[in-house]
Chains A and B, each alone.
Chain A
Amino acid sequence: MSPDSGAISRDEVAHLARLARLAVTDDELDTFAGQLDVILGSVARVGEVAAEDIPPTSHAVPLENVFRPDELRPGLTQEQALAGAPAAEDGRFRVPRILGEEQ
């Protein structure tokens, strides 16, 4: 898939949606595929810029070595932590059964 073409297929959108844990509907897939195709065609312009020797910016303002000391700072109580939980049990967040393995 060359960046110049900017073409993104419906299948690719479906795959990306799965990666991003979005259960998109078929209608959405159709709409998004068309829209994203157009958008990608537009953003692919970045490829026109000659930038081989240009370093990427990840921070607009150059800061380095920002640290904090290894000291305790008050956190949340268990109650506060679980306050917004959709489900909780025994002081823990209760979640539906997990299909995947831990990494």
Chain B
Amino acid sequence: MSDLIRLSAAELAERIAAKEVSAVEAAQAHLDRIAEVDGAVHAFLHVGTEAALASAALVDEQIAAGQRVSALAGVPLALKDVFTTSDMPTTCGSKILEGWRPPYDATVTTRLRAAGITILGKTNMDEFAMGSSTEHSAYGPTRNPWDLSRIPGGSGGGSAAALAAFEAPLAIGTDTGGSIRQPAAVTGTVGVKPTYGGVSRYGLVACASSLDQGGPCARTVLDAALLHEVIGGHDPLDSTSIDAPVPSVVEAARLGASGDLSGLRVGVVKELGGEGYQPGVRASFDEGLQRLEKLGAEIVEVSCPHFEYGMAAYYLILPSEVSSNLARFDAMRYGLRVQEGASAEEVMALTREAGFGPEVKRRIILGTYALSSGYYDAYYGQAQKVRTLISRDFAAAFAKADVLVSPTAPTTAFPIGEKVDDPLAMYLNDLATIPTNLAGVAGMSVPSGLAAEDGLPVGLQIMAPALGEAVMYRVGAAFEASRVADEGLLIAPEVAK
């Protein structure tokens, strides 16, 4: 394995800036890696070779000319196929958008390009971001580099797998109910869901508008922080984006790496981590708590009693918003069109039937139901009230603790096919991550180790108040530094050759 692909993004960026390695070399090394392993992993739906090399070449020119380049210039990145890119297809893992070339770039895409980051290609995902295993992609599943017979998590399994397989040192995902954090947990990588409104949604194909958030994915906390500062910040094109500076997460990550958490209160959420959690996951979590204490943090127990209604509220709000957001896919202006000669109404219905997968259809139907007159108050209306109660639980908890922690996901990576036909079983993967999306607060997953029973990665979830990412990154960096010092980097054995 070429050394270049084993470097973190921060290390690679330094070498590129120091002209020890060219951006083109870095890009090529990762493109070669993709060619080598992606047949097995299937993290990528599209690799934009020419554009990537051209982008890298431009960075090399700028560096050669002595121009100032950004902190991550020339570093390759894998972009979840839910962000619009004008030079590459954007499918959202769906047949209904097969081959669709958007006429505009997402704000996130624009910011990545402006930072000189080399976008290698678009990664696989559960269709329209609905799923926890990437098995609902219309283009076939992505496989976990830790065990190719297992899921890499979802909906952003492609991005996480690309990192774990060293196909890219950076990736972008989106998190609506855990779609960045849960894949990070089951692939042994780092994933962050910023505060809602912290990263622009312009050009992020909407799943649940009030829950979606784009975020950085990497193999280290510092890399995620560097990427966070590139993509975060106010966007006048997104009315829901927050007009405040991006929290100083890089500074916080560097501070955290010193490993001292004295004075910090870490709250363990009583309702997350009990029943339904795999023993190895709980054991790893307990070890994690001990480690935090060792670093000087005070562990306190907090209770968030309405978290147990989080799943129910989520699976009412999300489908409702989805049923409306996905109505635009009607074969009239772009995307798949099935059967000419019939009426517009028929073409719409036949196209949507052919173009959407079962999970998407289920959620559209459920959402249509929940918004129907007569049911709105009991379902969507009530769910939005439960959401308020969950926010209040967080507020009360954050009065007692600076960050909250839990296991990120109830289980390690399960085998492909095991849960795909049982929607409810699949939904349970999001138990611990959903509350943060409902409340709009920040959350991240960092590797906490491997589960004893199966040797598969487990993630520690760290949560912070809205716009409180700095303390979250600090704790994550400290935890990471300590764990890596003791146990070493987590490297997926299957593709480590």
Mutual binders A and B: yes
Residue ranges of A at the interface with B (Cβ–Cβ < 8 Å): 1, 3, 8, 12-13, 16-25, 28, 31-32, 35-36, 38-40, 42-49, 51, 54-61, 63, 66, 68, 76, 80-81, 83-87, 93, 95-100
Residue of B nearest to A73 (CB): B237
How far does the alpha carbon of A48 sit from the alpha carbon of B391 in the complex, in Å?
Answer: 18
Residue of B242, B332, B353 touching A61 (CB-CB under 8 A): B242
A35 in contact with B362 given A55-B385, A84-B334, A84-B335 (CB within 8 Å): yes
Residue ranges of B at the interface with A (Cβ–Cβ < 8 Å): 100-101, 103-104, 195-197, 210, 236, 239-240, 242, 306, 309, 311-313, 315-316, 323, 327, 330-335, 337, 340-350, 352-353, 356, 358, 361-362, 364-366, 368-369, 372, 374-375, 378-379, 381-389, 391, 423-424, 427, 438-441, 466
Minimum C-beta distance from B136 to chain A (A)? 14
Is the beta-carbon distance between A46 and B316 smaller than 8 angstroms? yes
Residue of A nearest to B313 (CB): A46
How far does the alpha carbon of A8 sit from the alpha carbon of B370 in the complex, in Å?
Answer: 12
A36 in contact with B383 given A23-B350, A58-B210, A95-B332 (CB within 8 Å): no
Is the beta-carbon distance between B387 and A43 smaller than 8 angstroms? no
Residue of B335, B337, B368, B381 touching A20 (CB-CB under 8 A): B368
* Most chain A CB atoms below 10 A, which of B352, B356, B382: B382
How far does the alpha carbon of A74 sit from the alpha carbon of B311 in the complex, in Å?
Answer: 42
Residue of B340, B344, B361, B391 touching A57 (CB-CB under 8 A): B391
Minimum C-beta distance from A68 to chain B (A)? 7
Give the 4 A-B residue pairs with the shortest CB-CB distance, closest first: A60-B440, A84-B334, A56-B384, A86-B337
Residue of A46, A55, A66, A83 touching B312 (CB-CB under 8 A): A46
Residue of B312, B358, B365, B388 touching A56 (CB-CB under 8 A): B388
Is the beta-carbon distance between A21 and B361 smaller than 8 angstroms? no
Is the beta-carbon distance between A1 and B375 smaller than 8 angstroms? yes
Is the beta-carbon distance between A24 and B345 smaller than 8 angstroms? no
A56 in contact with B381 given A22-B349, A63-B197 (CB within 8 Å): yes
Is the beta-carbon distance between B101 and A84 smaller than 8 angstroms? yes
Residue of B nearest to A66 (CB): B239
Is the beta-carbon distance between B375 and A43 smaller than 8 angstroms? no
Is the beta-carbon distance between B100 and A46 smaller than 8 angstroms? no
Main secondary structure of the interface of B (DSSP, over half): helix
Residue of B242, B345, B389 touching A100 (CB-CB under 8 A): B345
Is the beta-carbon distance between B333 and A43 smaller than 8 angstroms? no
Is the beta-carbon distance between A81 and B210 smaller than 8 angstroms? no
Minimum C-beta distance from B121 to chain A (A)? 20
How far does the alpha carbon of A35 sit from the alpha carbon of B391 in the complex, in Å?
Answer: 30
Residue of A21, A42, A46, A48 touching B352 (CB-CB under 8 A): A21
Is the beta-carbon distance between A24 and B362 smaller than 8 angstroms? no
Q: Provide 19 A-B residue pairs closer than 8 Å at the C-beta atoms, listed in order of the A residue.
A: A1-B374, A3-B375, A20-B327, A21-B327, A23-B349, A35-B423, A39-B427, A42-B315, A44-B312, A49-B309, A54-B389, A56-B384, A61-B197, A84-B100, A84-B101, A86-B334, A95-B344, A96-B347, A99-B343
How far does the alpha carbon of A21 sit from the alpha carbon of B347 in the complex, in Å?
Answer: 9
Residue of B242, B340, B440 touching A96 (CB-CB under 8 A): B340
Is the beta-carbon distance between B424 and A19 smaller than 8 angstroms? no
Minimum C-beta distance from A15 to chain B (A)? 9
Q: Could you say which residues of chain B place their CB within 8 Å of the CB of A61?
A: 195-197, 240, 242, 440, 466
How far does the alpha carbon of A42 sit from the alpha carbon of B366 in the complex, in Å?
Answer: 12
Is the beta-carbon distance between A43 and B379 smaller than 8 angstroms? yes
Minimum C-beta distance from A92 to chain B (A)? 11
Is the beta-carbon distance between B323 and A20 smaller than 8 angstroms? yes
Q: Could you say which residues of chain A place their CB within 8 Å of the CB of B210?
A: 58-60
Residue of B330, B353, B382 touching A51 (CB-CB under 8 A): B382
